[in-house]
Structure 1
């Protein structure tokens, strides 16, 4: 009888092992986490991992194997340092308007004397190209130059509707600001917005461009970019050599799919951002993170000479996991499961409890745990009903032997 009970318990523990293996079933890769010695740690997602996970980052898990061979799952949140932009509008009064040989003057008073770095002008005219001077003073007796020969522009025709009337200045703190618009024609200043714009840059990774190609097709300049692997891209900076003025429509696309046909490869590109490249602002484009390896930038030259492209920068956010470790175990990060759903952990509701500074963990070498390895250590039973059936048989046998022992006594 003891022998039977021993066999039953053996089968019971086998089923537990099978259940443990089921926790990582469907995942293709794992890497050991090295350096777990505290409750909270951060794990930077390496660039080469993005090509093997879902674009939604839903198929990442952190598991641990205890000394008793139990499998535990560690909760985490995904974090990335996006740029933060705040805009504080400043109350002001327009107090003077005058004219001399230099141009037309407009004076603004800020009673609170707060720091500003931007003035957006609202002008009633179209099709102008003017230069402006901005000065600051605390007493209207002594004026200090802030910007000079700054260009504001408006183009309005059948092809283009463009206006650039934003004065971006160094952080300044004066009670009075005097604006001079150098024009022979009287400007109709219908209003203005004065503000302090603060930007905290995000933690961006500059991706290496492996291949690039620039060609002109009909009236379009097409820039094709190939990265080393699939990565999340959210920022593109187009550097243009030309010193003359330009204003041209542009769109940024990524390669979503490709099909090999009898006539060769057919590529499907989807648009992620559109706008204009111009000589008045930085040609930087920000958009939602897009997972791709190949991008193309299309500039519509219209009837103009193609622009001379100096370089293109492609960047993406640095993603990291912030995880909580509560048990002693050997920990792994597993990933690569197209059917996995995003996990739901309590710590996502209490992010304010996560320490601001976390020690980073290192990742071990990548190990493949896909179909080939699972075939070598094939589960004893494919159907879960068999497991439940065996568990039921074990319970019945244990109950039957217990009753027999009671009767013998």
Structure 2
């Protein structure tokens, strides 16, 4: 009986050691609390992203029992925007020019709902304000949009075009576009569509510092954005206070690494996206998500007055973990391991079987995982007094032997 008890204790200690070894490969752990079902979900808090690798490969869920360690499979769901654009068939049934007023009438033969029209003109430079109306029988017209601005600019500095009309869902048989222009429009065609969109879910990232400067030699404005912590970024908007029209090309970059120099830290940047800041659309830009703390916007001013950028807003997609818990255990979310590879779980291929409604669980405080300290070999003499004492005794002994040998000769 005693032998069996010792064996069981030895096995338990062995399993515990293996579990601790697995978790010990990571830097931080958080207890997962409130597990009651097989499937649960939780949102990764912003502080997690300060510790994880760039590709999020080092996220694991471990369950600890007295006899075993369980790795719980999970899916990482990033709450990106989703939209399906459905083209709607139509016919251009009427084109009318009355002095400097221009009309285009479209017929949608089916009872389709739509919310967007993209106009295409051969003209390279124009600035028109459009009225969009809808009707069922072409006798009574109802205003959908008024003074919707469309324009195109093409010169040595700028190549910009905005000819899209966005409006709430509408269902008419006929749509009429009208605008006033002394320039003869050269209409090429249009695309009419329904944009079915599910908005992204974002976390707003606090900006710690926003600093703008001018490079007069390159005729550029450099906007430095420092976030309060490293976080996933996929959205940036700029609040520009100028009340005049402007169209400035720009590139958005992020610092992917840094080097310490005698003059301080030097940051190396990579380009995330390019675009045009303008006074027509909202200056909001989405791009592929990236973990970053520093952003830089380079604006091409050319010979124009620099823009007055009052504020900026940075956001990142919400990251949801959906996990399967198959046994009773004390579960932990662990992360922070440069050597970890992306996990390969079966549930990636069977995600259709995951319940649509999941109970959210909560995470405990972040706890650093202690590392096993390597045993250091202590020096033979840690106190210099004893070192000098031994050296003195050694010299006396050697001196005594030397004198004795000389006396014998």
Query: TM-score category by the smaller chain?
Result: 0.7 to 0.9
Q: Deviations over 1:127-160 (max 9, x none)?
A: 1222222221111111122223222212122222
Aligned counterpart for 1:118 among listed residues 109, 116, 119: 116
The match for 2:228 is 228
Within 5 Å, give how 1:9-408 maps onto structure 2: 14-66=13-65, 68-101=66-99, 103-218=101-216, 219-371=219-371, 374-375=372-373
With normalisation by structure 2, the TM-score equals 0.86
Gaps of 5+ in 2: 377-409
Shift, 1:6, TM fit: 8.2
With normalisation by structure 1, the TM-score equals 0.86
Counterpart Cα distance in 2 of 1:18 and 1:197: 55
CA contact (8 A) 2:63 2:70 kept: yes
Between structure 1 and structure 2, the one with the greater Rg is 2
Counterpart Cα distance in 2 of 1:222 and 1:42: 41
Counterpart Cα distance in 1 of 2:375 and 2:103: 83
Counterpart Cα distance in 2 of 1:276 and 1:126: 17
Shift, 1:84, TM fit: 0.7
SS of the aligned residue for 1:190 comes to strand
Counterpart Cα distance in 1 of 2:145 and 2:125: 23
Shift, 1:338, TM fit: 0.6
* Bigger mean CA deviation after superposition, 94-103 or 110-119: 94-103
The match for 2:385 is none
* Bigger mean CA deviation after superposition, 141-150 or 285-294: 141-150
Q: Deviations over 1:166-208 (max 9, x none)?
A: 1222322111112223112321112111111222111100111
SS of the aligned residue for 1:23 comes to helix
Q: Deviations over 1:28-56 (max 9, x none)?
A: 11111111111111121111111111121
SS of the aligned residue for 1:114 comes to coil
* Bigger mean CA deviation after superposition, 248-257 or 101-110: 101-110
Counterpart Cα distance in 2 of 1:269 and 1:212: 17
CA contact (8 A) 2:93 2:105 kept: yes
CA contact (8 A) 1:26 1:370 kept: no
CA contact (8 A) 2:15 2:69 kept: no
Q: What is the number of residues matched between the two proteins?
A: 374
